[in-house]
Structure 1
């Protein structure tokens, strides 16, 4: 029984891990003076083939809503200092 609970807890942790930054709103501890502008984040993602619809500040992260080349909707939590996605949810 104890082994099953440990396995269940581990599975839940693995599923929840990508969304931890979103849930806590913690992507960076850097001050906003070191953050990329939202336009820079949009431009960086557009160079990767996304059509960015919206960028908003959410805690110490940027939350980006975009479409890929196939028209799939992406909701990304992005580190505002380097512009790299921390987590991503895709809705086809």
Structure 2
């Protein structure tokens, strides 16, 4: 019985971690519902994030959200989720 509880707990922990990672990667929702024609260019998004004090390493647009991988002012790695219509940072990870 004890072995079953340990295994069940391990599976539950892995399932929770996987669900949390999937939600965090996409925020669980798009950053905008505006049509793509209204989005800023990726270069503009990068420039706005850099103006906010981050050093951009990689950027992409995914699921109506700008995903920018950068270093903060202390050199720590961060993932920023940016609204592609305004360049506003809507979440960090």
TM-score normalised by structure 1 residue count: 0.69
- Runs of 4+, deviation exceeding 4 Å: none
Q: What is the RMSD computed on CA atoms of the aligned residues?
A: 1.9
* Aligned with residue 74 of structure 1, among 64, 78, 89: 78
Q: Distance in 1 between matches of 2:80 and 2:51?
A: 16
Residue of structure 2 in register with 1:60 after alignment: 64
2:42 to 21, 35, 38: 38
Largest Rg, 1 or 2: 2
In 2, Cα distance between the equivalents of 1:61 and 1:75? 12
CA contact (8 A) 1:21 1:86 kept: no
- Are the counterparts in 2 of residues 61 and 78 from structure 1 also a CA contact under 8 Å? yes
Tell me the TM-score normalized by structure 2.
0.68
Gapped runs of 5+ residues in structure 1?
1-15
Number of equivalenced pairs = 72
1:88 matched to which residue of 2? 92
- Structure with more contact order per residue of length (Cα contacts < 8 Å, sep ≥ 6): 1
